[in-house]
Amino acid sequence: MRERDLDTYRSAARQWIESNLERARRNAAAERGGESAEAVAAFRASQKRLYEAGWAGIDIPIEYGGQGLSPAHAAVFAEEARDYLLPDLGVLTLVTFGIVLPSILATCTETFKQRHIPRILAGEELWCQLLSEPGAGSDLAGILTKASKHGDRWIVNGAKIWSSGAMHADFGVCITRTDWDVPKHDGITWFAMPLKAPGVKVRPIREINGGWEFCEVFMDDVMLDADEILGEVNKGWSFTHTMLVFERGALRGDRTELPESVAPDLVELARARGSLGDSHVRQLIATAHTHDVVRAALTIRVEKVMRAGGGDGNLASYVKLAKGVFDPLRARIGMEIAGDAAIAFEAGDPGFAASMNYLNCRVHSISGGSNEMQRNGIAERVLGLPREMNVEKGKPFRQVLEDSRKW
């Protein structure tokens, strides 16, 4: 890509951004919870405007509704828009554009891509993940949600939990059991589940921070067409693996960079508290900055290795584990700097973001596979250490369930 071509693109992007977008407020993301219906409608309208102006799906192929340009063009737009308000619904935006969209692009049929990707880019389809169940969390292959074939269609029954943003999503990528007489990783099929379909019930879950991000989703005789299968019948574990690479923070398409300044949010917090000159507070900020640099450097390294074809999707566990380890450390530092301002506050006060970050700091140590699961994956699949004993290996899943009743 010639440098002057990118310079011309950057100039056009900057002009459109300055004319059409508002500048972002600091710490706006910390105030998220469960978005309102009005916020979702505003997001759809804003995303549609972005799409129609040619700034959505910049590096997505033209045949799927994108602009067909390079990742470098997408990076240029992201850089220019960094200080502006882009369409954002928090976790629902992340799942739709950072996890589901690239997974569909990497694995699904041409027909499926052409049907769904343009509508995603235009803000007409928001997606969530229908993964965990009351009895299957970190062991995702132990799911019991059942899909049974009836003629040319499939009927789905089951329940999902911890489905972020499901109350506002249009579709969910839904993992189901379609063959009970093979080992559990071999009888899995993924469907695009329309969440407004007859038989689907979504129930939000109240969280410790007062939000409603997580949901339970119940499916009772939900009828689906066969063309809504993602991948192949009974071979869904390959799609699972692809999606988890994106979920764990590698290859999402966003550009990871080393921090340009020292923990600006914590510096601002300390300044507001009048403690920026305190030596202990300054040491805390320096520690947080060190963590930020290490985490960013690790992510950059993993991304480069994976994009160059080295290693495999299991390297993404390093990125996910770093989030699970460093988020609680950084959140505790924020609480220590904020002091009593993080205990009693009004929205927008200096301690608000610190308090919300602390309440949410364990998310990445559990969701998407716990820290322990990431360490096991790294040990066994990256470092080649001996695997733990597995009494289920090679057994039909039906037999595994029968054996579990005798324990």
Active-site amino acid positions: 247
Query: Distance (Å, rounded) from C-alpha 20 to C-alpha 35?
Result: 23
> Which residues in 7-17 are b (16+ Cβ under 10 Å) and which e?
eebeeebeebb
Q: Residue 340 has what DSSP assignment?
A: G
Angle between helices 316-338 and 237-247 (to 10 degrees): 40
Task: Give Rg (Cα) of the chain.
Answer: 22
Structure tokens at 310: 């080295």
- Say how many C-beta atoms besides its own lie within 10 A of residue 194's C-beta: 17
Nearest by Cα to 140 from 88, 98, 177, 100: 177
Structure tokens at 277: 């000159």
Query: Distance (Å, rounded) from C-alpha 58 to C-alpha 78?
Result: 10
Residue 146's beta-bridge partner residues?
157, 177
Query: Distance (Å, rounded) from C-alpha 282 to C-alpha 199?
Result: 55
Q: C-alpha angle 230/157/216, rounded to 5°?
A: 90
Q: Residue 251 has what DSSP assignment?
A: S
Angle between helices 279-307 and 264-273 (to 10 degrees): 160
Q: Burial, 78: exposed, middle or buried (Cβ in 10 Å; 0-12, 13-18, 19+)?
A: middle
